[in-house]
Chains A and B, each alone.
Chain A
Amino acid sequence: MNRELYACVHAAELPAQALLRLRPELRAQPVVILDGPAAQQTVCALNQHARRRGAALGMARLDAESLAEMKLLRRSIQAEKVSRSILLECVSQFSPRIEDALWNTLWDEERQAGQATACAFVLDIQGTERLFGPPEQLAQRLRSCLSAAGFHVSIAVSANFHTARLIAAHRGGIHVIAEGQEAAMLAGLALTALDGDAASDTDLAEILAQWGIRNLGELAALPEAELMTRLGARARTWSALAQGRATYLFRPIQPALRLEEFYAFETPVAQIDSLLFTIARMIDCLAQRAESRALALATVTALMQLEDGSSHQRVIRPALPSLDRRFLLKLVQMEIGAHPPQAAVTSLLLQAEPGQSRQMQLGLFTPQMPEPSRLDVTLARLKSIVGEDRVGSPVLEDTHRADSFHMLSLIAGHAGADQRLQGGSGQAPQAPKLQFHRLCLRRMRPPRPVSVLLHAGRPAVFHDRKQSFKITAAYGPWNSSGCWWSAAAWESGLEPHGSAAWNSAEWDLLATSPDGAPCACLLSHDIQGNIWHLEAFYD
């Protein structure tokens, strides 16, 4: 029969850890985190280096500033929330049954504001020996995993839930407590270790202090029956906690996968390079987290809070979900380069949507295709050269109006082939078998206004850009009109170009240019405005 086994992961000084996680260069420096209104800021968290320099919790900002080489950062609740979810995600790799160890110990206000200065999770690791080895090995792997994510944690493994939780919260490092040794391990903890516990009682603590009971070992040594006689049933719970035999009903939570990273800059960042330096780390973390779940990043959204109070959001969508950090960073760089924020950035939230990374079986006889990830970067570069809406695949619109189309992003590779197959009848679309070769047009955009000389109601000569073209043959007119039923078109004056409606006559002309070269062109005559336009050349 398997015995119960719990591992508790405790991350102390969460406000400091949340900010230092993405700032590895500050981890070797003394850092304190300030919280509160601007005039009354006090230290709410600090690292070991700061503690050695004399900093302490509750210290005023002026006192902290007076300490040499002290780095002061402002607390970020958003960063703590993100760090908590990342920590939860990391530990969920080791067990599906996880409970938030501090949830019951927090006050309601703290829960609502998310202002807990520590973060602890208890994992039910019963039956995981075959996967992760003995508890010592599991604890080591757990700490390595969290260290890679930027967390410094203490871990305790015990068969008793509360023992694991208390030891992890008050003893640093890794502790694996053998069965029956719980009371011995807890004996050294001060009685205040039970503060904030569900069973806490200030009156009871005061009475025990008057009796000279200062640690859990002394409390556990008191005879239970006499203790209950004098202090009531609540004292029994304390005694059981101190002896390491308090029972607990495990209430696992179900962590949702939220791929988010948050970074609050100390000073507004006005350089794209500096921004990208931070984004690179964040993408790295996101990709690592997605990879641990055998997923890839389908979209990445960068939400920037700007110095002027506004926000700026950019979204990148690779053709295929990817884990290639350099590729994703390049896409973000191109996107922000093409659409830069209008002010300096104060904070940055990077959110990613996970997607399944695809594996394709390639064939020897499949035609060569652009590599999707490389094509994404190429398209982004092309857009930065010619414009956002000037690169893509043209799609014809369902209208008789000339030159009506819109652009869609090119989806190449096997993903595009898949989409084309799904959109159709299951077979790759084949070009229609033509009986003859099509005469093609070269469009003028916008159509060039020309002056036309008529002879017997038919064009005889037209002038374009100071050049005179003698018309040798004119075929037409071919009248066309459309969208005259649209109210918006009438309001806009029925202009043939630039409004929804059109009413024009087209002429196919064979002409001779001034240098004697023959040409075939398409002229349109706006009937309402009596304006002629050179629409296209046949070529």
Chain B
Amino acid sequence: MPSAATLQMEIERSLAARFPAALSPAPQTHREAAATGVAAVDTLLQGGLPVGAVSELIGAMSSGRTSLALAFVASRTAEGRICAWVDAGDTFDPESAAGSGVNLSQLLWVRCQGMQSSPCHTDLPQAGRRRVQRQPWARLDQALRAVDLLLHAGGFAAIVLDLGDTVWEQASRIPAATWWRFRQAAGSTHCSLVVLGRAAYAASSAAIVLECAARQAKTSGGTILSSLEYNVTLKRDRSARIAPCPFPARRATASTWTAQPGWTQQMRRA
């Protein structure tokens, strides 16, 4: 009587043309992670945000998602890499980005706008007249198309899709197929796609979901806002990693970090 291993080999050999290694478990791969630049978050994520995957930073306004995303972009540009910021709401602040350490010359900023103009491509004499469409979906549509183009162009270390000001009703209607396509493209181009939003939109396509929330504000002498403290909670972690042992130790799922306005540093220097 043949052994189980022999049977497995025979079955796999017969099905090899259709299903390679049908009965063998898929080998676990170690996914590369890039540090966010915030030590507390890197510790929480065991290294940083995954490379070649979709990560979501969710939370309400003033929850610290933008500061965290900019810290991540700063750490990527500091390595000499090119990043992109697809700004669906046109809310990106270059001054804050520069203050966070982002090398602006290595950042591509795509500013989506509410009006969508599309030239007529067939008839030249009429081509000067552009159809101007005012529609609520224009910004979101532009942002998704821009991300699609950038992901397929390749070479970007990180792409931030900023849906922080997009209303939930619109962003939640982005088809799952779109997120799936983004995930595949990010994986093949080795790009970290970071989505900023009020809620998690990418569903199962997201490898990491971090929920951000404001914790407390600190003042200096009661007259100056000196810092804001944030909570970060790991809501999902599907990034494939090699477990160090069969029964890994329980991980922390929340952490705290602090961001300070630019004048704090000036005051310290003074």
Contacts and interface: CB of A to CB of B under 8 A. Distances in A.
B124 interface: yes
Interface string B254-270: 00011111101100100
Contacts of B103: 429, 431
A272 interface: yes
B123 to A, nearest CB: 6
A contact face: mostly helix, strand, loop, or mixed: mixed
B3 interface: no
B81 interface: yes
B44 interface: no
A386 B97 CA distance: 21
Interface string B61-75: 111111100110011
Nearest to A340: B127
Interface of B: 37-38, 60-67, 70-71, 74-75, 77-82, 89-113, 117, 119-125, 127-128, 142, 145-146, 149-150, 153-157, 164-165, 190, 214, 217, 219, 223-225, 227-228, 257-262, 264-265, 268
Interface string A405-444: 1011011110011001000000011111011111111111
A269 B124 contact: yes
Interface in A351-392: 366-371, 374-375, 377-379, 381-382, 384-387, 390-392
Contacts of B228: 439, 520, 538
B123 A370 contact: no
Contacts of B96: 438-441
Contacts of B112: 386, 390
B183 to A, nearest CB: 19
A12 B260 CA distance: 79
A70 interface: no
Contacts of B95: 396, 402-403, 405, 441
17 contacts: A269-B124, A340-B124, A340-B127, A342-B127, A343-B124, A366-B80, A368-B81, A403-B95, A407-B109, A432-B101, A439-B259, A439-B260, A442-B165, A443-B93, A518-B62, A520-B62, A536-B93
B106 to A, nearest CB: 8
Contacts of A25: none
Interface in A500-539: 508, 510, 513, 517-521, 536-539
Contact of B261 (A340, A412, A439): A439
A385 B105 CA distance: 22
Contacts of B108: 379, 391-393, 410, 412
A440 B109 contact: no
Contact of B157 (A368, A392, A520): A368
A438 B225 contact: no
B92 A443 contact: yes
Most buried by A among B91, B142, B157, B265: B91
Contacts of A431: 74-75, 77-78, 101-103
B97 A520 contact: no
A341 B165 contact: no
Interface in A312-351: 337-338, 340-345
A431 B74 CA distance: 7
Given A382-B149, A437-B100, 4 more contacts: A271-B124, A375-B153, A386-B110, A519-B61
Contacts of B113: 386-387, 390
Contacts of B268: 435
Given A340-B127, A370-B154, A438-B99, A272 B38 contact: no
A331 B232 CA distance: 44
Contacts of A342: 124-125, 127-128
Contact of A537 (B62, B78, B90, B92): B62
Nearest to A411: B105
Given A430-B78, A437-B38, A437-B71, A270 B124 contact: yes
Given A405-B94, A439-B228, A369 B155 contact: yes
Contacts of A510: 217, 225
B61 A443 contact: no
Given A432-B101, A475-B225, A508-B225, A270 B123 contact: yes
A371 B152 CA distance: 11
A395 interface: yes
A539 B157 contact: no
